[in-house]
Structure 1
């Protein structure tokens, strides 16, 4: 494949800013997992592999479509949710995440994500990641009547083992141990529990920003779309504008936006995230090997 000069120039800038940065703040959203082959909004081969029975039974055409589907019974709803949790737990870590890990080696970094698929948490230490929208592998009381989030991967696997068609046994539908009410996944919704764990996710992130705000900071935005710019994109823009030594890079094939005010402090790369991270990682690896000679 022919590489354009513009593309190579962009790779060189990413390399330069990564090397120069004293701290890197990564903002990862759904485009990052889509680049890894996990698209939550599309009826594709991966969706059919895990959710084909639900697609045929209910006309569901995406993972998110199933999450918001109005099932008639709790047995059907939890059959779908158990399948979703099992999917998240089973699928391998995507290549873009592995490449990002190598890029961040030996750097001071932190990751803010709105993704709920735990891909970042499977690669990076928990203390380096803030999942501010919850995750698909934990559950909470729907009340919520108490401040507790429960891991649910093992129970979900067992539910999948006992599933008949698109239903789980009534005895396996989770109930709150405190109030006896229904349980929900711990992800952004009208009943999302913004308790201790939620506050801790934000605390980790705030502390990293406070510790590094006077350093050369690179804000690296990966796959943020137009649905929720207020969580990652807009704060990144504001901090880049306000902090004298900050620089902003966004990589997104469709929604790489650079405000006019940041034209001298930012770069928008309209390319496939997986391709860019792969090439940046390869260049860094080559430079490291040459430096070791």
Structure 2
């Protein structure tokens, strides 16, 4: 039983905890992965420094911000400029592959297990490397979806084709492998043609991203279907040897993954909780004997497994 395995609350010496995680994973009836931003950061999806400069140096010079997050909140004077920024942002963080094979490594660990993924990430990395779409619940939305900004209805719309058109209208060429290139002597535009600005097909209002930022977030049919599948997965494995594997989850939205994982581990003596997070790997005393908490880079730990 998982409850017989005891470890310290957190550790920087990874050899023992990795052996424990390997053993627990091997004997688990089911695995629930809870993924936060730290997982994608480990995979190379960073939002400042070199990656920001590579794709947004022109925006930085023109508007004065120094990272992608700040650019997302900038009060652009026109929708043409707003969508020029956001189309680049969405393209590189949703339609390009992550620079490092962290998600591929994670998939290789669980692909033969009965698994489910609960994530606050919106970059679609799980599905791109082979995770089953029916075993994924993106609670906070998807960069690949538009919705009405009002919203006038509970519908979302795939944005792949339009995002690519916006990016190309700024001067980029999209290579067959998805990478962006700039032709010689081309000066990139920081705006798009007005005809590419997206509007709701029902009411004509401006579109927005399907991201949970306020009460306008659209929970469409796909969202509710995924929520139901997650609930059914937990019900089906209630009381069994279930591994709650939390990766890169911080304290912006702990009520979605972290706190529920703690509660479900405490309720089930056969459950085991593992948290891998650089600088924020902790668990409450009530589940210490059913837990491993590792302060380390997620990709490094996955590689060792």
Q: TM-score, normalised by structure 2?
A: 0.87
Displacement of 1:252: 0.5
The question of 1:116 aligning with 2:142 is answered no
SS at match of 1:165: coil
Pairing of 1:129-168 with structure 2 (within 5 A): 129-163=136-170, 165-168=189-192
Q: Which residue of structure 2 aligns with residue 231 of structure 1?
A: 256
Contact 2:45 2:98 in 1 (8 A): no
Q: Which residue of structure 2 aligns with residue 35 of structure 1?
A: 42
Contact 1:33 1:94 in 2 (8 A): no
Q: Tell me: higher relative CO, structure 1 or 2? Use CA pairs within 8 A at least 6 residues apart.
A: 2
Displacement of 1:259: 0.7
Q: Which residue of structure 1 aligns with residue 301 of structure 2?
A: 276
SS at match of 2:219: coil
Q: How many pairs align?
A: 275
Larger mean CA deviation between 46-55 and 140-149 belongs to: 46-55
Q: Which residue of structure 1 aligns with residue 276 of structure 2?
A: 251
Q: Which residue, out of 194, 210, 215, partners 1:170?
A: 194
Displacement of 1:49: 1.7
Q: CA RMSD in A?
A: 1.5
Q: Which residue, out of 76, 96, 99, partners 2:102?
A: 96
CA distance in 1, matches of 2:116, 2:193: 42
Displacement of 1:214: 2.2
Larger mean CA deviation between 58-67 and 262-271 belongs to: 58-67
Displacement of 1:241: 0.4
- The structure richer in helix per residue is 1
Displacement of 1:92: 3.7
Larger mean CA deviation between 63-72 and 228-237 belongs to: 63-72
Q: Deviations over 1:144-187 (max 9, x none)?
A: 10121111012111111112621111111001111000100111
SS at match of 2:123: coil
CA distance in 2, matches of 1:70, 1:125: 38
Q: TM-score, normalised by structure 1?
A: 0.90
Q: Deviations over 1:240-279 (max 9, x none)?
A: 0011211000001111111111111111101111100110
Contact 1:149 1:197 in 2 (8 A): no
Contact 1:93 1:122 in 2 (8 A): no
Q: Which residue of structure 1 aligns with residue 74 of structure 2?
A: 69
SS at match of 2:13: helix
CA distance in 2, matches of 1:211, 1:236: 16
Contact 2:43 2:98 in 1 (8 A): no
The question of 1:106 aligning with 2:112 is answered yes
CA distance in 2, matches of 1:256, 1:70: 36
Displacement of 1:5: 9.6
